[in-house]
Amino acid sequence: MSAEKKVPSERLVTLIGKPDCHLCEDAQGVVEKVCGDLGVPWEKKDITQDAELHREYWEQIPVVLVDGAQHTFWRVHDERLRRALTA
């Protein structure tokens, strides 16, 4: 059996980054635009406030998760994120 396709509003994008990170700011701009266009909820997590996230992702930030699974790191590409959220 195949998994049911989720509608965008049932997805969740998580942006993991830290303050004063220009790549994180760039990633947030893409996430805000794509999620806003598609009606996908998103959240932001700060590795400086979460030891487990820091241990797991400190070399890769910004990191984008889609429904809890890593989608990308360092650079977020608009079209790739759109495809992931509408597939």
pLDDT in tens, 25-66: 999 999 999 999 999 999 999 999 999 999 999 999 999 999
What pLDDT shows up at residue 2?
A: 41
Flag whether pLDDT at 3 surpasses 70.
no
Cα–Cα distance, 15 to 76 (Å, whole number): 10
* pLDDT mean over 12-31: 97
What pLDDT shows up at residue 87?
A: 80
* pLDDT mean over 65-79: 96
E strands of 1-87, at which residues?
Answer: 13-17, 42-46, 63-66, 69-73
Polymer length in residues for the chain: 87
More confident residue, 2 or 8: 8
